[in-house]
Chains A and B, each alone.
Chain A
């Protein structure tokens, strides 16, 4: 089960990272990177680290709201084609291959996994993350709602032509 969840979260995180380079408006880019932050916090939950996941969302709410305001304010200067996709693909794949090759040369990923501490990556990590501290779940939900309110407020202000 945890393998499926890890794979889905990994694919969604990579998709969010690529959407950061795909979009042109900064407000859209901020939404894409917030999705990446959210996937990262879910990965922290899968690693059985709920407090770090909540702190990650704290940082997300502060940082992304700043990006959103800058995105709205600098809209006239933005919107140009900014990514060279072939360079992005080639450099990303080359760097990934370089790091992966280095890891394999130094013993391989499977040896890392075999020598991990027992119980560190258990199948019920996400469900069990909040069981020790249920109040963290409320903080987590409040953080998500705050971010939704931020995006909704900026969209509403743009629609009303206030900003």
Chain B
């Protein structure tokens, strides 16, 4: 049964990495990182029953903290989105250098 969850976790992790590589939408890139974090938490909880380790909770807190930082980064970006007429297309972010 353990291998089911590990395969699901690896599949989610690879789709998240693929999303970061293949997407040009800034929000989708950040959400791809969220998918990777979801996969990491699933793999951690899956392997908890295997390793009998009590160190899973700090690891999960780190994962959730990174997820929260993602959201905060997006909010900060949104703050400047309308002020500088920025685009959500990451290929156009180099235009910021001209400002």
Contact = CB atoms under 8 A, between A and B. Distances in A.
B21 A47 contact: no
A152 interface: no
A70 B27 contact: yes
Interface string B22-42: 111101100110110010011
A66 interface: yes
A29 B27 contact: yes
Interface string B55-75: 000001000100110110011
A22 B33 CA distance: 16
A74 B81 contact: yes
Chain A contact residues: helix, strand, loop or mixed: helix
Interface residues of A, number: 63
Nearest to A120: B49
A55 B48 CA distance: 17
Interface stretch (A79-87, A128-136, A137-145): A79-87
A44 B44 CA distance: 11
B18 A95 contact: yes
A88 B22 contact: yes
A130 B35 CA distance: 26
B2 A91 contact: no
Interface string A110-123: 10110111001100
A22 to B, nearest CB: 10
Contacts of A148: none
Given A17-B35, A47-B46, A92 B15 contact: yes
B78 A116 contact: no
17 contacts: A3-B4, A6-B8, A10-B8, A14-B11, A18-B15, A21-B28, A44-B42, A47-B46, A63-B34, A63-B67, A66-B74, A77-B86, A80-B25, A83-B24, A83-B25, A91-B22, A113-B1
